[in-house]
Structure 1
Amino acid sequence: MCAAERGLAANSIAAYRTDLMQASELLAGRLTVADSELLGTLAAEWRALAASSVARKCSALRHFYGFLLDENLREDDPSPALPKPGLQRPLPKILEKQDVDRLFTQAEQATEMEGAPPTALRDLALLELLYGSGMRATELVSLPRNALRSDQPFLILKGKGGKERLVPLSDRARLVAARWRNLVDSDQPWLFPSRTGHISRIRLFQIVRALAGKAGIDPARVSPHVLRHAFATHLLAGGADLRALQTMLGHADIATTQIYTHVESSHLVALVNERHPLARRAGQTNRQP
């Protein structure tokens, strides 16, 4: 149902499965027949978890019991007994433009060193595509080798829920990706192959963090998703239209894209408070006569 009717991605389905299996273990295998009282005990079991994790688990269970109702496998829905954690969507982590510049400088220098391995160019291509297009990690690592065309300044991706979207590529990203593509065996189906298929999201995560460490940036601040956020935030700051950004990022709801307007606004407020000449007078204004 999740795949065929709701169109969820494989990663989302895997997360739902994990949440349901864990809840079943906590309820001693009585998940399907649990009543409201038994289901309500999960709140205590989940007390140490972050509100976002509890919200995801509750969502999985609500859809599960909704499915049982639709299939006439239950006559009631006990899910109202689940906790309702209050969620305030956090602002995404972003990198300043100077940090991005340091990342690219490090990656570019690695390709120019004498005897540089081919993986140096691969890492630069990954970085260019992450920051130059805003692709999700899964979309990037699973790019087919023939997805890039020299006469086509964009990619057609199949993202979450199997939905296709058009992703423009910067000239830089297209050029570096094409250089890397020329080093990949023509019989390879993937643009970024590994021994068993294409590189994993975990491997991409490791590559990005290793580049950050070499560039003198705290690796804990950098990830593929942070670079996707940086792409969106910096593009919006440069005057990009919110609807265009929604299309490029593949967001189903523009409310998801609007989070970047808050990021940019909070950055501007902080900038005014820290750098504006009147900020220096704040101490004088607050003095007692």
Structure 2
Amino acid sequence: MFVVPRQGGELAVGGPAEQVTEVWLANRRLSEHTRAAYRRDVSAWLAWCSERGADPLRASFLEVNAYARGLEARELAPSTVARKLSGLSSWYDFLMKIRAVDTNPVAGADRPFVSRDHSATLGLAADEVDALIERARAAGTRHHAVMTILADLGLRVGELVGLDLGDVGWERGHRTVRFVGKGGKQRRRALTPAASAALDAYLQVRGDGDGPLFMTSTGGRLDRHAVFRLLRRLAAEAGIAEADRLSPHSLRHAFATAARAEGVALEDVQDAMGHADPRTTRRYDRDRHNLDRDPAYMIAAARARRAGA
């Protein structure tokens, strides 16, 4: 039974803290990856408080600031520190709702600035994506299907590994995959002919049994860490520079850049990627500052056409 902790009462790692955290997470539409990250973030904060004899139910923004500066001292990226504080702030918002605390100490804390115009993710050029997919083709049907779907659809790795065989289907002549996106939103995407062909080749090996779409050799679900390692290995074998810095998110960035370079409207790319804010989509577009895309050229070309008409 869940018991609301009283203000000023003991709240440490384990016991009531875990109960509070699980109830909080149960009330949020989150992916399992995000839930796990939030659990770690709250546990780290509670451990920090315990080491210093601080009561998390009486913490002020001063303690949160000290905690944040400690994270920065570990040379964590500003975006990582901001994400950890954001999760902690949501946890305190929940504590306010159940009247365990009166205020949210994270709300007044000094959070690191994170530019919406920059991402630390290392992107991939179009020819590098092509080389990666070709290397994956030679490495096996599952590897080829995984890399092709990530590249052609720009899915998050959690969305990919969360697919079950039953999520693959047909709609109005389109081969599709259905999945739960960020924020618990039900989404669907169309598979490209290349992705569909790669998937069919893999399914001939996998078989038609129910369960995870992408399976390990032992029949378990392929996890994000395996995809992470696979991408780096294939990139290194393909001769891609800085292969050890790549991640599945690099293909997501490459998708956004390629789509915009081919003239796909920003709002369509935003919808495809499941972004709530178009500024996020723009940040993924690594070519957005390319002067070749300066609208001045299109305006001048239109003026020239009118003059020659």
How far is 1:227 from its partner?
0.8
Tell me the C-alpha RMSD between the 2 structures.
Answer: 2.4
Would you say how many aligned residue pairs link Structure 1 and Structure 2?
261
Give TM-score scaled by structure 1 length: 0.81
Q: Deviations over 1:153-204 (max 9, x none)?
A: 2222211122112212110110110111121132241221122621110111
**Is 1:176 equivalent to 2:210 in the alignment?**
no
The letter of the residue matching 2:135 is Q
Tell me the distance in 2 between the aligned counterparts of 1:76 and 1:3: 20
- Aligned partner of 1:74 among 101, 124, 128: 101
The letter of the residue matching 2:177 is L
How far is 1:220 from its partner?
2.2
Percent identity for Structure 1 against Structure 2: 31
Counterpart position of 1:147: 167
**Is 1:156 equivalent to 2:178 in the alignment?**
yes
The letter of the residue matching 1:220 is D
Instruction: Assess if the C-alpha contact under 8 Å between 2:33 and 2:158 holds in 1.
Output: no
Stretch deviating more after TM superposition (70-79 or 148-157):
148-157
Counterpart position of 2:125: 96
Give TM-score scaled by structure 2 length: 0.76
- Aligned partner of 1:59 among 45, 67, 86: 86
SS at match of 1:202: helix
Tell me the distance in 2 between the aligned counterparts of 1:196 and 1:9: 22
Tell me the distance in 2 between the aligned counterparts of 1:247 and 1:60: 25
The letter of the residue matching 2:213 is L
How far is 1:208 from its partner?
1.2
SS at match of 1:258: helix
SS at match of 2:141: helix
**Is 1:33 equivalent to 2:45 in the alignment?**
no
- Aligned partner of 2:70 among 32, 41, 45: 45
Tell me the distance in 2 between the aligned counterparts of 1:19 and 1:76: 19
The letter of the residue matching 1:153 is R
Question: After the TM superposition, which residues 1-289 of structure 1 pair with which residues of structure 2 at under 5 Å, given as runs?
Answer: 2-28=24-50, 30-48=55-73, 49-89=76-116, 90-91=118-119, 92-108=121-137, 110=138, 120-149=140-169, 152-194=174-216, 195=218, 197-218=220-241, 219-261=243-285, 263-266=286-289, 268-269=290-291
Unaligned ranges ≥5, structure 1: 112-119, 273-289
Name the CA shift for 1:144/1:43 in 2 (closer, same or farther; >3 Å): closer
The letter of the residue matching 2:179 is L
Tell me the distance in 2 between the aligned counterparts of 1:41 and 1:107: 46
Q: Deviations over 1:242-274 (max 9, x none)?
A: 11111211112222112245x2222x24999xx
The letter of the residue matching 1:245 is V
Name the CA shift for 1:271/1:43 in 2 (closer, same or farther; >3 Å): same
Name the CA shift for 1:216/1:79 in 2 (closer, same or farther; >3 Å): closer
SS at match of 1:166: strand
Name the CA shift for 1:230/1:2 in 2 (closer, same or farther; >3 Å): farther
Unaligned ranges ≥5, structure 2: 1-22, 295-309
Name the CA shift for 1:183/1:270 in 2 (closer, same or farther; >3 Å): same
Tell me the distance in 1 between the aligned counterparts of 2:271 and 2:169: 21
Tell me the distance in 1 between the aligned counterparts of 2:180 and 2:263: 27
Name the CA shift for 1:44/1:159 in 2 (closer, same or farther; >3 Å): closer
